[in-house]
Structure formats: structure tokens, C-alpha cells
Amino acid sequence: MDSTSTLYVVGNINVDLIMGTLDSWPQRGTEVMLNHSELRPGGSAGNCALALEAMQIRHRAVANQGDDGLSTWLASHFPHSAAHWTRYHCETSLTVGVTHSDHERSFLSNLGHIVRLTAEDVLNQLPLRASEGDIVLLCGTFLCLHLYDEYPMLLSELQQRGYLTAVDTGWPTQGWTDEVREQFSHWLPLCDWLLLNEVETLGLVNLPDLETCAQQLVKQLSGRGGCVVKSGSQGAGCWQLQQHISQPARPVTVVDTIGAGDSFNAGFLAALLHQQDITTALQWGIAVASLAISTLPRRYPDWHQLQLSAQER
């Protein structure tokens, strides 16, 4: 572990209550008993930061927090980062994730503190000048409502400070509208790495062919990184201006897919932080995600396990 660079994970850190398995929605006024539940820190940024902590990767979670009873509990899981978080007088953001027997999931979320996160909050938690190789990952794009409006300014400032930038947008609550695509066009040139799943990639470009969509997105990025597409059980691929590399995923027994893409992000960007090549980065991302989705309670690989799992591929 010889990297002195830092991965800053910016975005939605909230409380997740995962419950399942549910295949038909209960009638109003009735109650159903589910066979498992887990209360854990979550959100796209939270899931990624927890994976990085397990892998002993140099990082910091950049976020904000509310001031209710859940705020202290949530912050306690990020002891090296939470002291820097901006506190708002509001409730903590909470997501109830309901799992289904086909491994799909549904989410119910309140607004809470994450919608109040601002670019000022983020920039105040980052060094004025990046060290060599430092990366800032922005995630939970459409849930951090205030921050999303400030993406063009924020990404511009991050590049001026010398950071590599990565974005995992997630799914827009309003759907992939022409207005959303137009908003993206203002900041994609300021983004180095775009980390999406297949459906998000198709929705953002609005074309039916995945490879064409990825190639178009690469041309809109800064040119310093590429477009990574996560394909679940099929693995992942990375498109850059001069090459396309893909890696398959080994079969695992899926227990909980919530946060799979966030776990992948942790592995992929950790590899870049350690100056690994793209093939290795994809392998690390798949290895972290595979362990995360196949364990309950959730586990992530430590540094030694990460090296072994990647070598076994």
C-alpha cells in the first residue's frame, strides 16, 4: 500500500433500512412480516466510503448531517470524516430498501439532510490544492438537490484545484428527460471518469445500443479518463478514446444488490489511486461488488483479500 493519494467521496450519506423479501405490495391497512432486515449506513457515498475503509484505502467522506437522533449514530460510522461535516437543523435522510425475490429492489426515501448539501460545504472540506493523484468522486447526483444545481461550478473548481474528477449519477427521479440531458452537457467536459450502469448509460444518451452510447459519452468527457459501464452479473467495461476493455464477473450467490455499483466504484477508483491499469481496476471493482452483494451482514474485502480475489480472476 504505497499510495499517498486520497480519494474524496462526496454526496449522499444516509441511513439505510433494508427489509425483505417482499413480492406483492400489502393492501392498505394491513401488515406483513418479512424474513430479514438490516439497519446500516448507506447512500451512494456512504456505501463507497465503507468499502474504502474496509480495504484500508486512503480516503475521506465529504458530506453533511442533520441534528436528530439518527445523526450521531450515522456519523459514528465515519469517525475520520464526520468531524468535518456541516450540520443542518433538519432530520437525517433515511431510505427504506425493500428487496424482492428476483433480486430487484424498491426504495422509499425522505428528503432530510442530503438535499441541503452545497458546493460550499464540499469545497470547505477539501484541500485548496490537490496532491498528485487525488480523486474526487461525486455520487448521489440527483438526490443531493442543491449540490446538483452547482455541478458546473463545483467541477470547474475541482479541476482548477488539480483533482481528478469522477461522477456516478444514479437514476434521475424525474427520468431521463431532454432537460436532464441538456444539464449534463454543461458539466460533462469537466468530468474525467463517468461511472454508470447499463440502464443509466442508455438513458443519458437516449440510444438503444450500449457501445454507441458509451463511445458518445467518452467524447464529451475531459479526455483524461473514460466511461465505465457496470453490467451486474456480466461484469463491467471501460471505454476510453483509444480503447475498450471489458471484464467478466464470476457467478456469486446474490443476497442483497443494494449498493453494488457503489462498491464497484470503491474498488475501481482504489486501483486508479494505486496507479493500476484499467484491466486491474475493473477486476478490483468487480471483486469488491461481488463480495458485497453476496454477504449478509454485508462485508467488504480488506487489502489482502482484495489482492487475492483479483489474482484469482
Q: Give me the CATH number covering residue 295.
A: 3.40.1190.20
| Phi-psi map region of 224: left, alpha, beta (phi>0 left; psi -120 to 50 alpha) | alpha
- What is the per-residue DSSP string for 61-72? EE-EE--SHHHH
Q: Mention every residue, 6+ apart, whose C-beta is less than 8 A from residue 304.
A: none
Residue type, position 30, single letter? T
What is the reported pTM? 0.94
How many structural domains are present in the chain? 1
Please state, in angstroms and rounded to a whole number, the distance separating the CA atoms of residues 212 and 205. Answer: 9
237 found inside a domain: yes
2 found inside a domain: no
CA 91 from chain centre, in angstroms, equals 22
Tell me the CA distances in angstroms from 216 to 221, 248, 281, 293, one per residue in order.
9, 23, 22, 30
Tell me the CA distances in angstroms from 187 to 183, 204, 207, 215, one per residue in order.
8, 13, 20, 17
265 found inside a domain: yes
Residues of the chain with pLDDT under 50: none
Residue 219 · residue 241 · CB < 8 Å = yes
C-alpha grid cell, residue 213: 452510447
Q: What is the pLDDT of residue 102?
A: 86
β-pairing, 135-139 with 36-42? Answer: unpaired
Please state, in angstroms and rounded to a whole number, the distance separating the CA atoms of residues 64 and 87. Answer: 6
Residue that has been written with the C-alpha cell 467478466 in this structure: 248
123 found inside a domain: yes
Residue 40 · residue 16 · CB < 8 Å = yes
The string of pLDDT tens digits covering residues 21-62 is: 999 989 999 999 999 899 999 999 999 999 999 999 999 999
72 found inside a domain: no
Residue type, position 242, single letter? Q
Residue that has been written with the C-alpha cell 444514479 in this structure: 170
39 found inside a domain: no
Q: What is the pLDDT of residue 185?
A: 93
- Give the burial string for 99-129 (b: 16+ CB within 10 Å, else e): beeebeeeeebeebbbbbbbbebbbebbeee
Query: How many other C-beta atoms can be found within 10 angstroms of the C-beta atom of residue 289?
Result: 29
Q: Note down the domain range covering 170.
A: 7-12+44-65+114-310
Residue that has been written with the C-alpha cell 489482502 in this structure: 304
Q: What is the pLDDT of residue 312?
A: 67
Q: What is the pLDDT of residue 103?
A: 78
The string of pLDDT tens digits covering residues 68-97 is: 999 999 999 999 999 999 999 999 999 999
213 found inside a domain: yes
